[in-house]
Structure 1
Amino acid sequence: MAMSVGDGGDERPMSDINTTPLVDVMLVLLIIFLIAVPVVLQSVEVELPKVEFEPTTTKPENINLAVRGAADGTCEVYWNLTRVNSQELLDRAVANLKGVVDRLGSNITPDDIPEVHIRGDVNTPYKCIGGTVYQMQQAGFVKVGFISEPPAGTNFRRA
């Protein structure tokens, strides 16, 4: 590291800025940040699910629910096209499942239980969707799924 020392007979003061100490400080800070940054950045290894579009088979006995948030912050749940509140949803779900069990008797398998398909609006609060899923699970339904719009340009073939 060089430093200019006034030599010769020139008696006026030196007007050049000595940048050597500034460069030294910046190099030290750069080294400190290069060492410290990997320690600060922590990440948890997570394997994200692979999403594949699989068309659903709609059976007549499946339950279709539409859920959206109202302007006043409440939740609106529609059983097919009929609006229901939380208690009515539970009562209808229990009655529906009881009818299936009575109809099939003791020969019931998990495949015989109807599925619940929930269509949730994009702007629906989580509490509305979560509450609907919880109510349907309380009623005894084990297959609760979400209906979404496929990505644009997706071609699929129904089997």
Structure 2
Amino acid sequence: MGMTAVQNPGLAAPEVMPDVNTTPLIDVLLVLLVMLIITIPTQLHAVTLDLPSGPPPQSLKTPTVVELFIDFDGAVSWNGLAVSPATLEQRLADLARLPSSDQAEIHIKPNSVADYGHVAAVMASVQRHGLTKMGMVGQGRFAH
């Protein structure tokens, strides 16, 4: 903050006039702006995609579908047949042994009043066996 002394002929002491010297402030701001522009990395507007290479597969076969129904009490049905937790684990292990291209799609269809813990346990079991083709089916009632 600079001050300018103004001589007033009628007074003995010079009058002090407060006045802000903005030149150094503007210089500092310009230097900071230039430094900011230099240090900002350039943005690349590119999207990298992993595209398949080689010829497309000759025959596309429809995958087998396994429907897992989860009832309100946690009972699980494999394509409409009730299975115990041990049987479910065994069948999932059998599916996991197949090559990934031959693995079945697993469609999980929980009852609308099924406890989330039962549904999460089935999903965790599918994931634990390394099966990746899993989806929830019939969840339209939750869409708002």
TM (norm. structure 1) is 0.45
Higher relative contact order (CA 8 A, sep 6+): 1
Query: Which structure is higher in strand share?
Result: 2
